[in-house]
Structure 1
Amino acid sequence: MQTLRIKTPSTDGAERPRARPERDLLPLLAGAATAIGGVGAVLALADVDSPLRGPFTLFFLFAAPSVAIAAALRGLAPFGRVLVSVAGAITVNMLVAQGMLAVHHWSMHGGVAAVTALSALVLLLVAVRRLRRRTARERTS
């Protein structure tokens, strides 16, 4: 029996292995989604009369809580993480709308601001939790 070996490219600087295209595309898509969401929030809060205000604001209202919830669920499998984060985003939006309607203070600006605040709070809590874990690891090592 003969063993076949696959040569790996040398790392002497002359020739570098090429990155996979999907790895290069993910940061670009994340940046575009952030820009679209940010523009949607600004258009909604500034009350700009634009045909892009509706779709971009709707994208922001689903993307902001989804990203925050997905960041909190790093241990889940990718498909489960996406499913739970989208369901959580829908739930956050519905609870914000229901709460604002219940207290008779419904407004588009208030809804966007409330969803933004809740999403930012979840992201802040995730960042604090990661920072605590990192400092605990550094103390034990």
Structure 2
Amino acid sequence: MGAAVTVAAVGAILALCGSDSPLRGPFTLFFLLAAPATAVGSALRGLKPGPRTVVSVAGAIAIDLLVAQGMLAVHRWSVTGGIVAVTLISALVLLPVLARRHRGRAARDRS
């Protein structure tokens, strides 16, 4: 798990910095799939692992395509903007899940 987070973070950093590294493409693609898939997958805790994986990867692809389509529609396409938009959408999907879990733990600790 830690290696995946590291690869995704390095991909985002390489894309945002405009590096000419040969690892930029594959690591950035991994980030664009892993960040939204993780966020969507965490919101689907009730599903079994197989279907949850399929739905989270499909959700990640949908988020990436919607971001690209939206940016192209308003004539604001850029790699940096795409990375930032996918990061923000992933965070917006993930934050309520984390807040709900934190509230559940706090309630259990009080009992």
Same structural fold, with TM-score higher than 0.5 when normalized by the shorter chain: yes
Q: 1:123 aligns with which of 91, 94, 105?
A: 94
Q: 2:82 aligns with which of 108, 111, 129?
A: 111
Tell me the equivalent position of 1:47.
18
Bigger CA radius of gyration: 1
Q: What CA distance in whole angstroms lies between the structure 1 residues aligned with 2:39 and 2:70?
A: 20
Deviations 1:46-68 (A, max 9, x none): 00011110011000000000011
Q: Which structure 2 segments of 5+ residues have no match?
A: none
Query: Counterparts in 2 of 1:15-34, with a 5 A limit?
Result: 30-34=1-5
Q: 1:60 aligns with which of 31, 53, 66?
A: 31
Higher relative contact order structure (alpha carbons within 8 Å, sequence separation ≥ 6): 2
Q: What CA distance in whole angstroms lies between the structure 1 residues aligned with 2:39 and 2:72?
A: 24
Q: Which structure 1 segments of 5+ residues have no match?
A: 1-29
Q: CA RMSD in A?
A: 1.2
What amino acid sits opposite 1:46 in the alignment? Answer: C
Worse-superposed segment, 86-95 or 129-138: 129-138
Q: For this pair of structures, how many residues does the alignment match? A: 111
Tell me the equivalent position of 1:79.
50
Give TM-score, length-normalised by structure 2: 0.93
